[in-house]
Structure 1
Amino acid sequence: MYKKSLLVALLLPLLAVGQNKFAQLEQLLPTPNEYRNAAGAPGHNYYQQQADYKINVELIDEEQKIIGEETITYTNNSPDNLEYLWIQLDQNMRASDSDTHLIEVERMEDFKSIESIKSKLFEFDGGFKIEGVTTTSGRGMKYYINKTMLRIDLDTPLTEGSSISFKIKWWYNINDRMKIGGRSGYEYFAENDNYLYTIAQWFPRMCVYNDVEGWQNKQFLGRGEFALPFGDYEVAITVPSDHIVGATGELANESKVLTAAQRERLAKARTSDTPVIIVTQDEAEEIEKKKATDKKTWVFKAENVRDFAFASSRKFIWDAMNQPVGGKDVLCMSYYPKEGNPLWEQYSTKVVAHTIKTYSKYTIDYPYPVAISVHAASIGMEYPMICFNFGRPEKDGTYTARTKYGMIGVIIHEVGHNFFPMIVNSDERQWTWMDEGLNTFMQYLTEQEFERNYPSRRGPAHLMTNYMRGNKDNISPIMTNSESIWQFGNNAYGKPATGLNILRETIMGRELFDHAFKTYSERWKFKHPTPADFFRTMEDASAVDLDWFWRAWFYTTDHVDISIDGVKWYELNTGNATVDLPRAKELENEAATPIGEVRNNELIKETYNEKDPSLNDFYTTYDKNDVDGLHAKEYDKLKQRLSDEDIALLNSGKQFYEMKFSNKGGIPMPLILEFTFEDNSKETIKIPAEIWRKHENEVTKVFIFDQKVRSVQLDPNLETADTDVSNNAWPHAKVPTQFELFRKGYSRENPMQRANRAGE
Structure 2
Amino acid sequence: MIKTRRLVLGILFLTGTAFGQNTTTKQGHTNQNKFKQLKELLPTPNLQRTASGAPGIKYTQQKVDYTMDIILDDENTRIYGNETITYHNNSDDTLAYLWVQLDQNMRAADSKSPDIQPSSIPKNTSKKRFNKTYMTAPFDGGFKIESVLNIDDTAISYTINQTMMRVNLAEPLASGAKFEFKIKWWYNINNHRTDGGRSGYEHFSKDGNNNYVIAQFYPRLCVYDNVEGWQNDQFWGRSEFALEFGDFTVQITTPEDHMLGATGVLLNETEVFTKKELKRLKVAKKTFDNPVLIRTQEEAEEIEKKKATKTKTWKFYAENVRDYAFATSRKFIWDAMAVAINGKTVMAYSLYSKEANPLYGDHSTRAVAQTLKTYSKYTFDYPYHKAISVDGQMGMEYPQICFNPGRPDADGSYSDRVKYRMIKVTIHEVGHNFFPMIVNSDERQWTWMDEGLNSYVEMLAELAYDKDFPVTRGYPKNIVGYMAGDQSKIAPIMSKGDHVYEFGNNAYGKPATALWILRETIMGKELFDHAFRTYSQRWMFKHPTPADFFRTMEDASGIDLDWFWRGWFYSTEVNDIGIESVRKFYATEDTEKKAIVFIEDTTEGLNITKPDTAESKYFYEITFNKPGGLVMPIIAEYTYADGSKEKKTYPAQIWRYNDKQVTKAVHSEKQITKIVLDPDLETADVDLSNNSFPKDKKDAFSRFKTKMKN
Normalising to structure 1: TM-score of the pair? Answer: 0.85
Select between 382-391 and 324-333 the one with higher mean Cα deviation. 324-333
2:479 alignment partner, SS class: helix
Aligned residue for 2:104?
A: 91
1:38 alignment partner, SS class: coil
Selected match of 1:48 from 29, 47, 61: 61
Aligned residue for 2:116?
A: 103
User: Which residues of structure 2 form unaligned runs of 5+?
Assistant: 1-28, 703-710
Selected match of 1:549 from 555, 564, 589: 564
1:174-253 equivalences under 5 Å are: 174-253=189-268
Q: For the residues of structure 2 that align with 1:260 and 1:487, how far apart are their CA atoms?
A: 51
1:313 alignment partner AA = S
The alpha-carbon deviation at position 726 of structure 1 amounts to 1.4
1:343-354 equivalences under 5 Å are: 343-354=359-370
2:473 alignment partner AA = R
Q: For the residues of structure 2 that align with 1:102 and 1:657, how far apart are their CA atoms?
A: 63
1:602-656: CA deviation from partner (whole Å, max 9, x where unpaired)? xxxxxxxxxxxxxxxxxxxxxxx999xxxxxxxxxxxxxxxxxxxxxx9642211
1:472 aligns with 2:487: yes
Aligned residue for 1:170?
A: 185
Q: For the residues of structure 2 that align with 1:401 and 1:674, how far apart are their CA atoms?
A: 36
1:478 alignment partner, SS class: coil
Q: For the residues of structure 1 that align with 2:399 and 2:326, how far apart are their CA atoms?
A: 10
Aligned residue for 1:321?
A: 337
2:287 alignment partner AA = S
The alpha-carbon deviation at position 420 of structure 1 amounts to 0.2
1:446-485 equivalences under 5 Å are: 446-485=461-500
The 1:543/1:136 distance shift into structure 2, 3 A limit, reads same
The 1:28/1:591 distance shift into structure 2, 3 A limit, reads closer
1:83-136: CA deviation from partner (whole Å, max 9, x where unpaired)? 100000000000122121110111223864434433423420010000000012
1:513-662 equivalences under 5 Å are: 513-575=528-590, 652-662=615-625
1:287 aligns with 2:303: yes
Q: For the residues of structure 1 that align with 2:567 and 2:73, how far apart are their CA atoms?
A: 52
Aligned residue for 1:613?
A: none
The alpha-carbon deviation at position 212 of structure 1 amounts to 0.2
1:69-88: CA deviation from partner (whole Å, max 9, x where unpaired)? 00010100000000100000
Aligned residue for 1:370?
A: 386
Kept after mapping to 1: 8 A contact 2:64/2:221: yes
Aligned residue for 1:425?
A: 440
Aligned residue for 1:60?
A: 73
Aligned residue for 1:752?
A: none
1:332-354: CA deviation from partner (whole Å, max 9, x where unpaired)? 10000001111111111111011
Aligned residue for 1:680?
A: 643
2:243 alignment partner AA = L
Aligned residue for 1:9?
A: none
1:707 aligns with 2:670: yes
Q: For the residues of structure 1 that align with 2:151 and 2:284, how far apart are their CA atoms?
A: 41
1:734 alignment partner AA = K
Larger helix fraction of residues: 1
Kept after mapping to 1: 8 A contact 2:586/2:614: no
Aligned residue for 2:43?
A: 30
Aligned residue for 1:620?
A: none
1:138 aligns with 2:153: yes
Aligned residue for 1:79?
A: 92
Kept after mapping to 1: 8 A contact 2:586/2:599: no
Selected match of 1:261 from 276, 279, 291: 276
Aligned residue for 2:131?
A: 118
2:588 alignment partner, SS class: coil
2:251 alignment partner, SS class: strand
The alpha-carbon deviation at position 698 of structure 1 amounts to 1.3
Aligned residue for 1:509?
A: 524
1:243-294: CA deviation from partner (whole Å, max 9, x where unpaired)? 0000011111011111111111111111111211000000000000110000
State the percentage of identical aligned residues. Answer: 55
Aligned residue for 2:372?
A: 356
1:729 aligns with 2:692: yes
Kept after mapping to 1: 8 A contact 2:65/2:85: yes
The alpha-carbon deviation at position 575 of structure 1 amounts to 2.5
Displacement over 4 Å in runs of 4+: none
1:362 alignment partner AA = Y
1:441-473: CA deviation from partner (whole Å, max 9, x where unpaired)? 000011111111210101111111111101111
Q: For the residues of structure 1 that align with 2:664 and 2:542, how far apart are their CA atoms?
A: 46
1:318-341: CA deviation from partner (whole Å, max 9, x where unpaired)? 011111213221111000000111
2:417 alignment partner AA = R
The 1:591/1:304 distance shift into structure 2, 3 A limit, reads closer
Q: For the residues of structure 2 that align with 1:690 and 1:438, how far apart are their CA atoms?
A: 25
Kept after mapping to 2: 8 A contact 1:238/1:298: yes
1:364 alignment partner, SS class: coil
1:166-195: CA deviation from partner (whole Å, max 9, x where unpaired)? 100000000001111011000000000000
Selected match of 1:398 from 413, 416, 419: 413
Aligned residue for 1:335?
A: 351
Kept after mapping to 2: 8 A contact 1:111/1:117: no
2:313 alignment partner AA = T
Q: For the residues of structure 1 that align with 2:492 and 2:683, how far apart are their CA atoms?
A: 18
Q: For the residues of structure 2 that align with 1:20 and 1:201, how far apart are their CA atoms?
A: 46
2:113 alignment partner, SS class: helix
Selected match of 1:386 from 368, 376, 401: 401
The alpha-carbon deviation at position 696 of structure 1 amounts to 1.1
Aligned residue for 1:6?
A: none
Selected match of 2:681 from 702, 708, 718: 718
1:229 alignment partner AA = E
Aligned residue for 1:753?
A: none
1:311 alignment partner, SS class: strand
1:354-380: CA deviation from partner (whole Å, max 9, x where unpaired)? 100100000011000010000123x00
2:557 alignment partner, SS class: coil
Q: For the residues of structure 1 that align with 2:416 and 2:436, how far apart are their CA atoms?
A: 30
The alpha-carbon deviation at position 576 of structure 1 amounts to 6.2
1:505 alignment partner, SS class: helix
2:53 alignment partner AA = G
Kept after mapping to 2: 8 A contact 1:364/1:522: yes
1:171 alignment partner AA = W
- The number of equivalent residue pairs is 663
Kept after mapping to 1: 8 A contact 2:350/2:365: yes
1:446 alignment partner AA = A
The 1:264/1:505 distance shift into structure 2, 3 A limit, reads same
1:316 alignment partner AA = F
1:405-455: CA deviation from partner (whole Å, max 9, x where unpaired)? 000000000000000000000000001000000000000011111111210
Q: For the residues of structure 1 that align with 2:625 and 2:277, how far apart are their CA atoms?
A: 67
Kept after mapping to 2: 8 A contact 1:503/1:509: yes
Q: For the residues of structure 2 that align with 1:36 and 1:188, how far apart are their CA atoms?
A: 48
Q: For the residues of structure 2 that align with 1:591 and 1:529, how far apart are their CA atoms?
A: 56
Selected match of 2:317 from 289, 296, 301: 301
Q: For the residues of structure 1 that align with 2:500 and 2:32, how far apart are their CA atoms?
A: 23
The alpha-carbon deviation at position 700 of structure 1 amounts to 1.2
Aligned residue for 2:425?
A: 410
Q: For the residues of structure 1 that align with 2:458 and 2:320, how far apart are their CA atoms?
A: 24
1:97 alignment partner, SS class: coil
Q: Which has the larger radius of gyration?
A: 1
User: Which residues of structure 1 form unaligned runs of 5+?
Assistant: 1-14, 593-624, 628-649, 739-760
The 1:655/1:115 distance shift into structure 2, 3 A limit, reads farther
1:132-156: CA deviation from partner (whole Å, max 9, x where unpaired)? 0001221111111000001111111
Aligned residue for 2:705?
A: none
The alpha-carbon deviation at position 518 of structure 1 amounts to 0.1
Q: For the residues of structure 2 that align with 1:626 and 1:32, how far apart are their CA atoms?
A: 64
